[in-house]
Amino acid sequence: MIIGAAPLTSDKVFKEFDPRDHYVICADGGYDTAVKFGIRPDLVIGDFDSAVKRPPETIRTLKLPVQKDETDTMSAAMVGFKLGFTSFVLIGCLGGDRFDHSIANINVLLYIANRGGSGVLCTEDTKVFVLRGGRIVLTELKGATVSVFPFDGTSCNLTYSGLEYPLYQKNLTAGATLMGVSNRIVEDTAEIKVNIGCALIVLYTPGEKKA
What does DSSP assign to residue 54?
Answer: P
| pLDDT over 70 percentage in the chain | 95
Is residue 17 within 8 A of residue 1, CB to CB? The reply is: yes
> Per-residue pLDDT averaged across 155-181, rounded?
92
Mean of the per-residue pLDDT values of the chain? 92
pLDDT band at 98 (very low <50, low <70, confident <90, very high): confident
Longest dimension (CA), the chain: 55
Higher local confidence (pLDDT), 40 or 46 = 40
CATH of the domain spanning 2-124: 3.40.50.10240
Residue 189 has pLDDT above 90, yes or no: yes
Domain with CATH 3.40.50.10240 in the chain: 2-124
Least confident residue range of 4-8, 114-118, 198-202: 4-8
**Alpha-carbon radius of gyration of the chain:** 18
Residue 80 has pLDDT above 60, yes or no: yes
Reported pTM:
0.91
Domain with CATH 2.60.120.320 in the chain: 129-204
Nearest to 160 by CA among 193, 200, 196, 201: 193
pLDDT tens digits, one per residue of 100-122: 999 999 999 999 999 999 999 99
| pLDDT of 50 | 66
- The second-level CATH assignment, the architecture, of 129-204 is Sandwich (2.60)
31's enclosing H/E stretch is helix 30-36
